[in-house]
Amino acid sequence: METKNNFLIYGAYGYTGELIAELAVKKGLQPILAGRNVEKTKALADILDLKWIAFEATDKTALKLALQREEIKVVLNCAGPFTKTVKEFIPACIAAKVHYLDITGEIEVFEYAKTQDKEAKEAEIMIMSGVGFDVVPSDCLAKFLKDELPTATHLELAFMGLAGVSQGTAITMVENAGAGGMIRENGTIKIVKTAYQTKVIDYGIKKMNSVAIPWGDVSTAFHSTQIPNIKVFMAQPPKAIKAMEMSSYFSFALKNEFVKGFIKKKIKEREKGPNEEKRDNNHSYLWGKVTDGKNTLEARLITPEGYKLTSIAALLITEKVLNSDYKMGYQTPSSTYGKNLILEVEGTEMTLV
């Protein structure tokens, strides 16, 4: 019987999944590629000379059979929107005693994954959502700030990216459109209106208008730091912020499946995501602030471009799990690997302001 020493990438032919698969091969790894579409999965596998399997995540029998492959130790789920796949994958991974990772930034996914902590511990596996740009750098920044000010009661995080978003990210944003924003207040996640708050944030290279968004750290940073009040902001031009503010008046339309379908069709007609030049020549800039009412600290973090970082960070964590470096149950990046995990990625720098 073969030792479990390999991993499966689901959603491998998507923009980010393909980046991860290509980088894995460059690193000498041989993941098994998987996805919904037979032709697309096979085409990528042929190019990279890798094993492959095609199945729908909602096909419980096919999923169970896929995870029963004797060499699979870890699943790395890259198929979003993750709200549509996580509730299939995590129970199946628990049943098969296979570790589960994904690259989501969706709060709903983190909150669901957290409910599976007990079952994951009983199966002696780790569940970790958000092993890419969502939420490795911001989670490490939050932990860094918490360690610098252990009495912190309020945390604000923000990020600025310059290279654009992929089709998958854009489609996930459409799926969640009209749902409003989210913050954490006194330990509880609270729904607020879209573009609930704006502020000017100094990211080091420039100051930018930034708007509150329902980012994954509203869930994960609480698990990592126990800070009860959390907000996350994203740098955006004034026109984009204004559009977000106006969208709350049309939330009924944005929730309509016909409208969503039309927008998603248009998204699929454009470029899959930032090209190699943009990924290599851009960076992401993060900012964080903690306060306990008396003391305040700020910090900044510079990383490679978001999608490039996602491929590096996702494989970094996957390799750690393959080497049996993990904690059982539901985990966040910094709760398992500490605040310096992000500094293992070349081209990162974290400093107090």
- Give me the CATH code for the 6-132+308-337 domain, please: 3.40.50.720
pLDDT tens-digit map of 79-119:
988 998 999 999 999 999 999 999 999 999 999 999 999 99
Q: What's 136-307's CATH class?
A: alpha beta
**What is the per-residue pLDDT for 60?**
94
The answer to whether 120 touches 330, Cβ cutoff 8 Å, is yes
**What is the per-residue pLDDT for 11?**
97
Cα–Cα–Cα angle for 172, 175, 181, rounded to 5 degrees: 90
Residue 148's SS3 state is helix
Where in the chain are the domains? 6-132+308-337, 136-307
Question: Cα–Cα distances in Å, from 346 out to 20, 88, 287, 302?
Answer: 16, 34, 19, 11
Whether residue 262 is predicted with pLDDT greater than 50 in this model: the reply is no
pLDDT tens-digit map of 32-71:
999 999 999 999 999 999 999 999 999 999 999 999 887 9
**What is the per-residue pLDDT for 176?**
46
Confidence of residue 194 (pLDDT cuts 50, 70, 90): confident
Rounded to an integer, the average pLDDT of 129-158 is: 97
Confidence of residue 243 (pLDDT cuts 50, 70, 90): confident
Record the pTM: 0.89
Confidence of residue 179 (pLDDT cuts 50, 70, 90): low
Buried-state track 119-131, b at ≥16 Cβ within 10 A, e below 16: bbbebebbbbbbb
pLDDT tens-digit map of 270-288:
456 788 888 888 999 999 9
Confidence of residue 195 (pLDDT cuts 50, 70, 90): confident
Whether residue 302 is predicted with pLDDT greater than 90 in this model: the reply is yes
DSSP string covering 56-119, please?
Answer: -TT-HHHHHHHHT-TTEEEEEE--SSGGGTHHHHHHHHHHHT-EEEE----HHHHHHHHHTHHH
pLDDT tens-digit map of 199-208:
999 999 999 9
pLDDT tens-digit map of 327-347:
999 999 999 999 999 999 999
